[in-house]
Amino acid sequence: LAKTTQPISMDSYEGQEVNITCSHNNIATNDYITWYQQFPSQGPRFIIQGYKTKVTNEVASLFIPADRKSSTLSLPRVSLSDTAVYYCLVGASYNTDKLIFGTGTRLQVFP
């Protein structure tokens, strides 16, 4: 199983860049790396997904080194509304044994 390890919590201030790193040493060849964001009283929301190198969308960037044993979610210029829990998920859709959410990283953004 591709277990993930993330920091339990992080603090930041508005306007700063936030980088959350996820460790997944046992990632398999066909595994994707996906990040979700969850606000209180809501279901998780897909942020970004990657397989290798770098992926960027309108919300975030995902950096994946060549060995794929870790990944870093980068949130540029965070605002108060980015305060949420961020989950790193590693796995492939057909292998449900690997659809495991950890406890996530609780990001608190201060004014």
In whole angstroms, the minimum distance from the beta carbon of 1 to other proteins comes to 12
Residue in 5, 99, 108, 110 binding other proteins, rule: CB under 8 A? 99
Is 111 strand, coil or helix?
coil
Which amino acid appears at position 77 of this protein?
R
Only one of the segments 9-17, 39-47, 65-73, 74-82 lies at the binding site for other proteins (rule: CB under 8 A); that segment is 39-47
d(CA 61, CA 84) in angstroms, rounded, equals: 17
Which string of b and e fits 73-97 if b means at least 16 CB within 10 Å?
Answer: bbbeebeeebbbbbbbbbbeeeeee
Task: Find the binding residues for other proteins in span 19-38 (CB under 8 A).
Answer: 32, 34
In whole angstroms, the minimum distance from the beta carbon of 45 to other proteins comes to 7
- Using CB under 8 A as the criterion, which residues of the chain lie in contact with other proteins when the complex forms? 32, 34, 41-46, 49, 87, 89, 91-94, 96-97, 99-104
